Structures are given as structure tokens and as C-alpha cells.
Structure 1
Amino acid sequence: DPEGQVVAQAIAVFQFNNRKRGEYGLPLLETMTIPCITMAGTRPTFYLVPVTRELSNAVLLGEYPLTQTRVLKCVTVGVSARHTVEGMENIHYRELVFRRVLAFK
């Protein structure tokens, strides 16, 4: 299950970006929404992970944050079992995946 890793990496991105902002004299951000994609075979799953400074600090301190984090998730599912077997070889599934990728952009 890659979801824990997705959230952990989104928090790492938040920390890295804020550290760089501090180095350049820019104000630190309170929140960032980090887009993420995982692949299971040819099936992409899209995530939007909102990371706050509160969440980042809680992770650094090994504590639970006071505010719940809600991750948006979009799983790409073909309309038939054939799409799962054929994957990207099926033109209809391939079009569905590319539409999702473009929409996520």
C-alpha cells in the first residue's frame, strides 16, 4: 500500500520547499497542496495531499497533529475487466488514463 509513503514524501517536499524558501529570504508557507501519482501496473492513482506547517512540525516531533488531514484520491478504473488485463494496450483505457493525466496537470 503506497499511500503512507505518498503522504510521507509530500511532507518531505513541504519541508524541503520551506527550507529553500527560508534560505532565499522568502516567507515560509503555512500550507502546500502536493500533487502525487502512484502506479500499479498501468493503473495510475492521483492524490492531492494538503500539508500544513502544523502537520510537518508534528511529524518532526513524533506527535499526532491536532487537525485531521484529508487527502483527495482519484483511482483510475477501466469500465470492464478487460481493461485490467490489457492495460495500456486497450485504446479506450489508454484514452481514459491520458484524460486523467491531463486533468490532473
Structure 2
Amino acid sequence: MFDYDEPDRDIGIRKKLPIIMCDMEVSAKLDVFVKSRSEYLLLVHGGKRGPNRRYPEPRLVAQAIAAFYQNNLQRKLAGRPILNSQTITGITVIGVTPIFYLLPITTKLVQCVQAGIPPPQPTIVQRFIPPVPDPDAYPSEGLVPLANRVVVVQCFEAFKALVVSLVQCS
């Protein structure tokens, strides 16, 4: 609907991304993703409301780390230089409530995760909650009120422009 897959991007669903962690292969499970030139650009993590789905951010960060790892692996296999850092975009959708993220991933962060040690620098993830008329009710109401839908659709359009601009930078 928002043309996140145009002109040279593809949308995929339900994919496992392997990454080595503590000498073992583990996988991050992607719900929905957007790829360009074999690079993951946008990750969408969905879930239902409830006590087990309250904090989707850790999964989204794990997915972004695995996506960055896979992006660099594909770059290396294609003979392209690997990236020292990349901003992966993300969206969590719990019930009918989307929230937007910018996830800066670095090779150092990936190396620390792979070794099972804390990174020396914090990773600052930016989160954007759509500026709906009643922000206190947004977590429970999401897209249900018409006024919220108007704002969220504008956010999806603006976020698409950001995803496209990040593609041109990598």
C-alpha cells in the first residue's frame, strides 16, 4: 500500500537469519522485512497484545544485529567492502499499534554479541511514537480511531522516505 517495495526493493516474510554467537549458530526470526540489493533495510516485528509481548524492542534489536551481520556477509561474498556501521530501520506492531525505530548497528557491536561480552559503548536506538491526538490511549487504541489512522499513515509515508534515503547512503 505504501510502496515500500518500489522500485528495487522486495518485501519478504518469515525468515530466519543465522548469526554466530558464543561459537554457536543461532537465528533471529524476522516477521516481515524489506530488502534491496540483498541487504536488509527494514524489519517489522509484529505481535499480539499481552504480558509476553509488552517489550518488542529486544527482539527488534537482535533482528537488526543479525540483519547487519548478513548484510556484511553478502557484501563480502560479492566482493564489496563491508560496512563498519549501518542504520537498520524497524517497526514494531503490537496489535494495531505501530512504533518506528532507527537501529544503529556497528561491527564492534556484532563482534561483542558474537563473543558474548558487553559492548564498550551503548547503542542508542531512536524510537518514534506517532503524535496521535491522545498519546496516552495510543498503546491500547492504536489505529482504531480515525484521527490516529491519519497520523500513522503520514508516519508510514515519511518513514518510507527515510528508508529510501538510507538505501542511497549504503
TM-score, normalised relative to structure 2:
0.57
| Distance in 2 of aligned mates of 1:86 and 1:23 | 45
From 79, 104, 107, the counterpart of 1:53:
107
| Paired residue secondary structure (1:88) | coil
The more displaced of 60-69 and 28-37 is 60-69
- Looking at secondary structure, tell me which structure has more helix per residue: 1
User: Larger Cα Rg: Structure 1 or Structure 2?
Assistant: 1
- Tell me the alpha carbon deviations over residues 82-101 of structure 1, each in whole angstroms, 9 at most, x when there is no partner: 76666434321111110111
Q: CA deviation at 1:104?
A: 1.0
Question: How far apart, CA to CA, are the structure 1 residues paired with 2:116 and 2:88?
Answer: 21
Distance 2:117 2:137 in 1: 45
Q: Show structure 1 runs of 4+ deviating over 4 A.
A: 81-87
Task: Provide the rounded CA distance (Å) in 1 between the counterparts of 2:60 and 2:80.
Answer: 26
1:39 alignment partner in structure 2: 93
Report the TM-score when normalising by structure 1. Answer: 0.89
Q: Structure 1 counterpart of 2:57, which letter?
A: E
> Unaligned 5+ residue runs, structure 2?
1-54, 161-170
8 A Cα contact 1:43 1:76, kept in partner: no
Q: Deviations over 1:38-63 (max 9, x none)?
A: 01221111110000000000000001
Give the Cα–Cα distance (whole angstroms) in 1 for the partners of residues 103 and 139 of structure 2: 26
SS across alignment from 2:157: helix
- 1:99 matched to 2:150? The reply is no
Q: Is 1:90 the equivalent of 2:142?
A: no
Out of 87-96 and 69-78, give the one that drifted further: 87-96
Higher strand proportion (structure 1 or 2) = 2
| Cα RMSD for the two superposed structures | 1.9
**Identity %, equivalent residues:** 37
